[in-house]
Amino acid sequence: MLNMEGRILESNVKKMAEALKAGATMLEESCPQCSSPLFKLPSGEIYCLTCNRRVILVKSDEEALETGTPAALNLLEETLVKKLLELEQKIRVEEDTKNLQNHLNLTLSYLEALEKIRRIKR
C-alpha cells in the first residue's frame, strides 16, 4: 500500500514538473475531487494532473464571467431595447423642451449601456 502511494506521488511530481516546464502555472486552488494543486496550461485551460482531467473553476472571476454573464447581458440588452422603444414614443409626442432633454439624456445613457453590453458580448 505504501509502495503504491509512493509510486503515485512520484509520477504526479514528475507530471507537475513537466507541466511547469511546458509553461503551465500552479494555481492556489485545488482539485475538488482529489485536492491536488491545479495547473493552468498556456492555453488557459485548468487541469488536475492527478485526475488527468479538465477542471472548471466556477469561483474564479474569469469562469464566473464566462458562465454567468452572457445570460445577464442578454436579458439586460432586451430590457434596454424595450426601454428605448418606450422612450422613442415619449420623445415623439413630447413638446416641453425640458422633458425632451431629460428623455434624450436617458436615451443616451441607454445607448451607452447597450454599446458596452455588445462590446462585452463580442
Min dist CB 69 to Zn ion, Å, is 27
Identify the bridge partners of residue 39 per DSSP, sorted by sequence position. Answer: 26, 47
Q: Tell me: does residue 113 bind Zn ion (CB under 5 A).
A: no
Min dist CB 75 to Zn ion, Å, is 35
Nearest to 106 by CA among 118, 119, 89: 89
Residue from 51, 57, 113, 114 binding Zn ion (CB under 5 A): 51
Min dist CB 40 to Zn ion, Å, is 14
Q: Spell out a b/e string for 57-88, using b for 16 or more CB atoms within 10 Å of the CB, else e.
A: beeeeeeeeeeeeeeeeeeeeeebeebeeebe
59/92 with CB nearer Zn ion: 59
48/103 with CB nearer Zn ion: 48
Q: Tell me: does residue 31 bind Zn ion (CB under 5 A).
A: yes
C-alpha cell at 69: 454573464
Helix, strand, or coil (residue 25): strand
The backbone torsions φ and ψ at residue 42, rounded to the nearest 5 degrees and listed phi first, read: -55, -25
Q: Tell me: does residue 38 bind Zn ion (CB under 5 A).
A: no
Residue from 34, 56, 58, 120 binding Zn ion (CB under 5 A): 34
51/73 with CB nearer Zn ion: 51
Alpha-carbon span 52 to 16, nearest angstrom: 11
Instruction: Give residues in contact with Zn ion (CB under 5 A).
Output: 31, 33-34, 36, 48, 50-51
